[in-house]
Structure 1
């Protein structure tokens, strides 16, 4: 599978050259570049992580991401997510819309929610900011009642073991019933967050659930 997007024109050449856009041979399910890990972790057109998810029960049809989560992408996301640089993400608007037309043409977009405490700390939900740039219908039908430790402070094993709790707002049942839904978040690492959210959306009538993240770890 091949996936390619041109660099965003609103970024200077120096910044653009430090971003690594996901392209070439990627995992059919999670979108991770096969060039990032040894061949032994590849199983046909899927990576070993996705094979494990499917063995234990996966709720996500596919994930697609724009960037490889390299050091510069980490800096970009940190400025957007933690330092309130909400204008920064608009540099990727054209690329989001191109990808949306290609990969999620008939989807509703559902941002991964923050807990009330985290939303208060940041002043905005970074996933909602990304979702709004696709130019499609955004449905904020999930809430996150529990305050969790930041994912960035956890190791891979801890992230995989997290039982993230989401609550579905029943006022949106008719809105998502029978529809293709795309979850939106900033980073995909182990997939545990989108899998948890995907399950609850399918339980409430979504036809399929996929996900998009700005970066793929």
Structure 2
């Protein structure tokens, strides 16, 4: 497990009380990267009965600010903020972890794949089974436009999902269009089951 010493909160820059200690080095918990005050601003999602989708947090103003800094201001260090929570949820899963992919043009513009980085920081192995075939995004669309969006993914060459179990990982779930389209590609190619995990529920 990778260890980084973060001395100040990555969100508000206030000093952190907890540094790297023997306890954090010997345990499975990552050292803290944000202060308790910032951590308390994120609202956990209520546990849902359906196991096909797990989301960790609600999309409140503070989470909106986090996403803006991380994705659009290219603050890749913020991938560390939720690494412990993501690892707790995914590290013992038997399914293959599949990140929702970025289009190569968008990746070049942003310089990093934000879902991949969240998983990298949490030490979660993953495999790219999908590719994005359009630069079109769901942001800014109405609910009706999202639900009627054309297919934006395709199966990657030389990948066979046949009889395998998967967990799709994305940053945010709103109408479910992105997850459902990716899920359909895998199921149509023979996947045994496809679940989903997102950091945020919109």
TM range (shorter): 0.7 to 0.9
Offset at residue 139 of structure 1 (A): 0.7
TM-score, normalised by the number of residues in structure 1: 0.73
Following TM superposition, the consecutive aligned residue runs of length 4 or more in structure 1 with deviations greater than 6 angstroms are none
Select which of 121, 139, 156 maps to 2:127.
Answer: 139
Offset at residue 156 of structure 1 (A): 1.6
The DSSP-based 3-state class of the residue aligned with 2:187 is helix
Maintained 8 Å contact 2:153/2:181? yes
The answer to whether structure 1 residue 73 and structure 2 residue 63 are counterparts is yes
The answer to whether structure 1 residue 170 and structure 2 residue 157 are counterparts is yes
Maintained 8 Å contact 1:177/1:206? yes
Larger helix proportion of the pair: 1
* RMSD, aligned α-carbons: 1.9
**Corresponding residue for residue 32 of structure 2:** 9
Maintained 8 Å contact 2:91/2:124? no
The DSSP-based 3-state class of the residue aligned with 2:168 is strand
Maintained 8 Å contact 2:97/2:168? yes
Maintained 8 Å contact 1:110/1:131? no
Select which of 75, 78, 82 maps to 1:88.
Answer: 78
Instruction: Give unmatched runs, 5+ long, in structure 1.
Output: 1-7, 30-60
The DSSP-based 3-state class of the residue aligned with 2:76 is coil
Query: Do the aligned partners of residues 204 and 131 (structure 1) sit closer, same or farther apart at CA in structure 2, a change above 3 Å counting?
Result: farther
Q: Please list the CA deviations of residues 144-199 of structure 1 after superposition, one character each: whole Å capped at 9, or x if unmatched.
A: 12121x322112221111123211123121xx332211111111000011111001
Structure of greater relative contact order (alpha carbons < 8 Å, 6+ residues apart):
1
The DSSP-based 3-state class of the residue aligned with 1:170 is coil
CA distance in 1, matches of 2:59, 2:186: 27
Offset at residue 112 of structure 1 (A): 0.9
CA distance in 2, matches of 1:79, 1:191: 23
Query: Do the aligned partners of residues 21 and 81 (structure 1) sit closer, same or farther apart at CA in structure 2, a change above 3 Å counting?
Result: same
The DSSP-based 3-state class of the residue aligned with 1:172 is coil
**Corresponding residue for residue 45 of structure 2:** 22
CA distance in 2, matches of 1:117, 1:196: 20
Instruction: Give unmatched runs, 5+ long, in structure 2.
Output: 1-30
